[in-house]
Structure formats: structure tokens, C-alpha cells
Chain A
Amino acid sequence: MRKLGLAILVVLVLGVLAAWTMLFTVSEREYAIVTRFGRRVQTIDQAGLYVKWGSLCDTVIRIDKRLAVFQTRPIELLLGDQNPIILTCYVCWQVKDPVAFYSSLMTPENANVKLRDMVQSSLGAVLSDHQLQDVINVDANQVGLRRIESDALADFEAKAAKEYGISVRQLGIRRIAYPPMVTQAVHNRMRSEREKEAKKYRGEGRQLAAKIEGETDKQFAEIIAEANRKAEIIKGEGDKEASRVYAEAYSKDREFFEFLRSLEAYQEILASQATIVLSTKSRLFKYLVPDESRPAASQPGSPSRSVR
């Protein structure tokens, strides 16, 4: 009874020890390569529990299969039209062939360094086929960044996949910058464009204001003219009415009217400055110079005519 218990204990301890050295797990985030005395015997790309020979002869190498991202350093490249441009880009990649990756690169860290150089050369090659208007364009449909990126990705992956066992999942421009000289030139151009625009708006303002002013002048004159016209019409109505009133009254005795009107007219004509020469034969002086021979029925003569 006691021996049996002891035996169970020993088997249990040995079992745990064996499990400890012979079993290993592979997680979802890695590949595993099992090497025996340095020779590769197994490549595992599924997560789970695996068996190896003891720790002394088998070694498990774990290779991260997760998506990695790195960013290139800013590099100055020449576009096809000789415009210099500074670019950085990001690359998302992951290990697809752990054996190739393991035998060529070893670690993700130095992988990033090696891949970085390759991306830069790919990007440089692709960009030399493009002009600035393919990178930026006022027409969004003409922007060729997507094609530049996919071309660079294809070029890069053709080299990297074969040699390093990786798959490039995405390559994208991360930053566009200009060399200081170009930045300066762009700033200057922006300034002058804005100046032009500001001038344009102020000019338009002045023009519109002048137009309004002109219209105002015209409307002003129109209003005054219209008022004057109305005033003349009103006065005309007054004159017409006055004429009617006069005519109505005067038509009662035209002769008497003419007589009175003539007297009034003479009165105005013979102002105080006039010089009047009167004949003694004038009817006025009928009683001044008694003369029977003069015809009594002579017309009421005008007091001669005036000479200024």
C-alpha cells in the first residue's frame, strides 16, 4: 500500500519533469522552428501544444509572425521632372516563410534596418518615372499617389519576398516634405498668390462701390427730375385752372376786359424812368388848352410813346 503510493508519486514527478522539458506551446502570434543539434526538423505555423525531444537536443526558435510596421528615414528623391521631394513612407510587413526569414535575417529589429534600405531604393526607382503633377494635383482623380505606392510595393516585394521570406502587406507615403530651398520658393509663391487675391477682392470692392455710387447719382438725378416734372405739371394745372377762371370772368365783357387790361399793360410799360412827350392836342389836355376847332370825338389817344 505504501509502496504503491510512493510509486505513484515518483511517476507523477517524472511525468511533470518530462512534460516540462518535452512539451512546448506555440502561441497565435508566432511561428516555431524546432532544430535538433542545429539541424531544422520541424516548422510549426499553427498555435497549440507540441512535443519535442528533451531540452538538451532540441531547440525551439520562435519567430514573430505578427504584422510589423516601420517607417523610412526622410530621403530626398528626384521626380521625373527634376523636382526634388523628400519622402518618408511606412511599410507593414509580416513573416510568411519563417525558414527563409530565419536563415537570412534572424530578428525583426535588423529586418527593419535592411528592409528600410530596400524600400528607399524601390521608392526612388518608382518616383523617377513620375512628375510632380502625379503626386499632387488639383483634380483628385489625377493624383497618382496610390499607383506610386502600389508600384513601389510591387517592386519591393519582388525583392523582399524571395530573399527574406516576408510578405509586404501595405506601403504608404507617411510624409511629404520639401528641401528648404523649395519650401522657401513655395512660401514665396503662396505669398504672392495671396497678395494677388487680396488685391483682387479690394479692387472688386472698389468697383462695386463705384458702381453703386454711379447708380446712386443716376437715381438721385431721376428723383429730382421726376419731382420737377411733377411740379411743372402741378403748376401747369394751376395755370390752366387760372386761365379757365379768367376766361370765364372776362368773357362776360370782352371789350371792357381789353380796356382794363390795356390800362394795366400801359401802367407797366410806362415805368417811372420813362420820358413822356405829350401833345397839347392830346385828349388829356382838352381842358388845359381850350380849342374849339379840335374834334371832340378824337380817340382817347395814348400818351404818345415812351422813349427810354
Chain B
Amino acid sequence: MIGESLQRALGASRRLVGWIVLAGVVLYGLSGIYSVKPDEVAVHQRFGRIVDARVPSGIHYALPWPIDRVNKVPILKVHRLVIDDFQAGDDPGSAAGLFRMISQLHSFCVTGDNNVVNVGCAVQYMISDPAAFLFHTMAPEAILRAVACNSLIHCLAGMKVDHALTMGNQQIKAYVHSEMNRRLDALGVGLVVAVVDLIPLRPPQEVRSYFDDVVNSKIDKRKMVNQAEADRNERLSRARVEATRVENQALGAKATTIEQARGKASRFVQRLSEYRKAPDVTRRRLWLEFVRDVLGKVRRKYVVEADDRGPAAGVRIVTP
């Protein structure tokens, strides 16, 4: 009785174990299912060797551990690295500050005309080759930083400081961008630079005020010219006002002269018509009126007895 029931129990437990083992095997097999998100790419390896370097997004199957391995890499994600190696400042958190701490030296970039400037940039990059990124490099970011610094040095070493500080921004950006990608490609790092944002270049603190003064001097120059031009406009408009005044005055004078002439002419014509009625009498009358007017005003008058020889005896005519 007992043996029978034991045997039944054993049989049941054996079936149970069997089910459990089966379930375990199925679960183990199912553990190889994995999904790749839309912004990712997976690298599928079997015993360490890459069997598919670019598994696209979706549901996939790989053999379970320890046979297959899957690494997922976000290839659409944009990473950002700030290159502050050539910036001013003693902040030990920055690359420049660290350099200052180690060497006690200033951080800067040297331009082609042997000026020094502080320069920096922010590099936005993406993973272009997931397999290379995962297995080909130890420290992708360190390489990226080194390459960025190198590109900046190369670019500025052939550029005048004035150009670099003013119009060179686009050129520096373009150069750093292409040079970095060229070097990263040559190394096969698996990274690609998408965008380089240049942090505005600045002259070092010690000489900055002098650079600012150059900018100010350009403004001063423009100011002087503007002031002179404003003066010119003001003076010339005054001159034009004066010119108008002179011309108007002349017009007035012209009118006066002409009107005066007309007046006199018409008076003459009137007198003439009167004169013509009785020429001798009028003439005599006019003469007498004139003599009266003139002699009436003159204060010193001498009347001398005339002899026949001269106009006035003993009087010499003296002209001044």
C-alpha cells in the first residue's frame, strides 16, 4: 500500500520535474529574444566574434548566454564635448585649469603672426560605426578631444590674429569640422563630428583692454567722421540760407532800382510835357528854383563887384 502510493508520488514528482526542466529549457531559449529601439543599432557577437555589426531596430533573436552577446549602441544620439583646453581660467575642473595646475603655464592657441588667443569649441558628434566604437578604441572621447585640440592648433597656426578674432569664425569652424572627421576616419574610431560650435575667440586677459581699444578706436574714427559730416551739413545749410538771403536782397535791389528808374522816367516825361508847353519860361523857372534851393542852403556866400576882365576880381579858383 505504502509502496504503491510512494511510487505514485514519485511518478508525479518525476513528471513535475520533467515539466520544470522543460519550462527551464524553453525559458532559456526564449531569453535570446531582444529588441532594438528605433534610435539604436545592435552589434551581435557569437563567442566574441561579430556576426552582425548592424542589427537594425525591431525584435530579434540571438542564442542565449553564454553563446551570443548583443551590445546596443544609440547611433542617433548626439553627444557633446566641450573643448576648453585653450580657454583662460584656473578652474581645475576644466582642461585649461588642469594644465595650469600641472605646468603653471598659460593656456592659449598661437596664431600665425605669433599672437596668443583663447579659443574653445563644443563638438557635437555621433557614433557612425558601432562595431568600431565598441571594439576598436579604448577611449573614444579622449581621442576626440585630442583631435579637436590638434585641429584648432593647425587652423590658428596659419591665421592672422585679426582675422581669427573677426571674420575667421566660419573658417575655423569649417576647418576644425573637416580636419577632425579626416583624422577620426583615418583612425577608424567610429565617431563622426556633426557640428562644431565655436566659442568666441578672445585675446588673453592681459592684453584684452588693448584689443578693445582698437575696436573703440575704430568707433572713434567713425565718430570723428560723422561729427565732421554733421558739421558740414550744418554749415552748408547755413551757407545756403545765407545764399538765398543774398539773392533775395539782390532781387529786392533790382526791383528797387527798376521802380526808381520808372518813377524818375515818368517824372521826367511829365516835366517834359509841361516844359514843352512853354520852354523858356519853364527853363527859367526851374533854374531860379534851383538857385534858390542851392544858395539858400549854402552858408558862406560872397558877392563881389565884377570888373570886365575876369569872373571875380582877385579871387583865385582853388580846387581841392
CB within 8 Å for A228 and B135 given contacts A249-B265, A263-B290, A272-B298 = no
The reply to whether A92 and B143 contact each other, CB–CB distance below 8 Å, is yes
Instruction: Report Cα–Cα, A47/B131, bound state, in Å.
Output: 13
Interface size of A in residues (CB-CB distance below 8 Å): 122
The reply to whether A223 and B146 contact each other, CB–CB distance below 8 Å, is no
CB within 8 Å for A201 and B221 given contacts A27-B135, A143-B158 = yes
Main SS of the interface on chain B? helix
CB within 8 Å for A223 and B243 given contacts A69-B143, A170-B187 = yes
* Binary A-proximity of B136-173 (CB < 8 A = 1, otherwise 0): 11110011001101100110011111000000000000
Within 8 Å of chain A (Cβ to Cβ): is B76? no
The reply to whether A197 and B217 contact each other, CB–CB distance below 8 Å, is yes
The reply to whether A25 and B228 contact each other, CB–CB distance below 8 Å, is no
Within 8 Å of chain B (Cβ to Cβ): is A40? no
Instruction: Report Cα–Cα, A237/B252, bound state, in Å.
Output: 12
Instruction: Report Cα–Cα, A260/B186, bound state, in Å.
Output: 117
Contacting residues of chain B (167-181) with chain A, CB-CB under 8 angstroms: none
Contacting residues of chain B (202-252) with chain A, CB-CB under 8 angstroms: 203-204, 206-207, 210-211, 213-214, 216-218, 220-225, 227-229, 231-232, 235-236, 239-240, 242-244, 246-247, 249-251
* Binary A-proximity of B80-95 (CB < 8 A = 1, otherwise 0): 0000011000000000
* Binary A-proximity of B13-49 (CB < 8 A = 1, otherwise 0): 0000000000000000000000000000000010111
CB within 8 Å for A208 and B294 given contacts A28-B131, A47-B50, A235-B253 = no
The reply to whether B261 and A245 contact each other, CB–CB distance below 8 Å, is yes
Chain A hits for B320, CB < 8 A = 307-308
Within 8 Å of chain B (Cβ to Cβ): is A114? no
Within 8 Å of chain B (Cβ to Cβ): is A150? no
Instruction: Report Cα–Cα, A267/B279, bound state, in Å.
Output: 22
Instruction: Report Cα–Cα, A146/B158, bound state, in Å.
Output: 12
Chain B hits for A267, CB < 8 A = 290, 293-294
A307 to chain B minimum Cβ distance, whole angstroms, is 5
Instruction: Report Cα–Cα, A235/B248, bound state, in Å.
Output: 11
Within 8 Å of chain B (Cβ to Cβ): is A162? no
B309 to chain A minimum Cβ distance, whole angstroms, is 11
Interface size of B in residues (CB-CB distance below 8 Å): 126
Contacting residues of chain B (104-129) with chain A, CB-CB under 8 angstroms: 104-116
Instruction: Report Cα–Cα, A251/B300, bound state, in Å.
Output: 38
Chain A hits for B240, CB < 8 A = 223
Contacting residues of chain B (272-320) with chain A, CB-CB under 8 angstroms: 272, 275-276, 279, 283, 286-287, 290-291, 293-295, 297-306, 311-312, 315, 317-320
Within 8 Å of chain B (Cβ to Cβ): is A290? no
The reply to whether A27 and B48 contact each other, CB–CB distance below 8 Å, is yes
The reply to whether B242 and A279 contact each other, CB–CB distance below 8 Å, is no
* Binary B-proximity of A235-254 (CB < 8 A = 1, otherwise 0): 10111011101101110110
The reply to whether A190 and B158 contact each other, CB–CB distance below 8 Å, is no
The reply to whether B149 and A174 contact each other, CB–CB distance below 8 Å, is yes
B38 to chain A minimum Cβ distance, whole angstroms, is 26
Chain B hits for A90, CB < 8 A = 143, 146-147, 149-150
Instruction: Report Cα–Cα, A136/B232, bound state, in Å.
Output: 48
The reply to whether B294 and A279 contact each other, CB–CB distance below 8 Å, is no
Interface centre among A210, A242, A273 (most CB of B within 10 A): A242
Instruction: Report Cα–Cα, A307/B220, bound state, in Å.
Output: 72
CB within 8 Å for A201 and B217 given contacts A28-B45, A135-B157, A139-B112 = yes
Instruction: Report Cα–Cα, A18/B249, bound state, in Å.
Output: 126
The reply to whether B220 and A186 contact each other, CB–CB distance below 8 Å, is no
CB within 8 Å for A227 and B242 given contacts A69-B146, A174-B150 = yes
The reply to whether B311 and A276 contact each other, CB–CB distance below 8 Å, is no
B300 to chain A minimum Cβ distance, whole angstroms, is 4
CB within 8 Å for A180 and B210 given contacts A201-B221, A256-B275, A263-B290 = no
Within 8 Å of chain B (Cβ to Cβ): is A145? yes
Instruction: Report Cα–Cα, A153/B104, bound state, in Å.
Output: 28
The reply to whether B183 and A47 contact each other, CB–CB distance below 8 Å, is no
Instruction: Report Cα–Cα, A37/B180, bound state, in Å.
Output: 47
CB within 8 Å for A260 and B255 given contacts A201-B214, A223-B243 = no
Measured CB to CB, the nearest residue on chain A to B104 is A180
The reply to whether B254 and A238 contact each other, CB–CB distance below 8 Å, is yes
Within 8 Å of chain A (Cβ to Cβ): is B5? no
The reply to whether B214 and A280 contact each other, CB–CB distance below 8 Å, is no
Across the interface, A48 reaches (CB within 8 A) one of B47, B188, B243, B298, namely B47
The reply to whether B295 and A190 contact each other, CB–CB distance below 8 Å, is no
Measured CB to CB, the nearest residue on chain A to B105 is A177
Closest 5 CB pairs of A and B: A140-B158, A238-B254, A205-B221, A231-B250, A227-B243
Q: A227-B247, A307-B320 are in contact. List 20 more A-B contacts (CB 8 A).
A: A47-B45, A47-B47, A138-B158, A170-B186, A175-B85, A178-B106, A190-B203, A190-B210, A201-B221, A202-B220, A212-B225, A216-B231, A223-B239, A224-B239, A271-B297, A272-B299, A276-B300, A279-B303, A279-B305, A307-B317
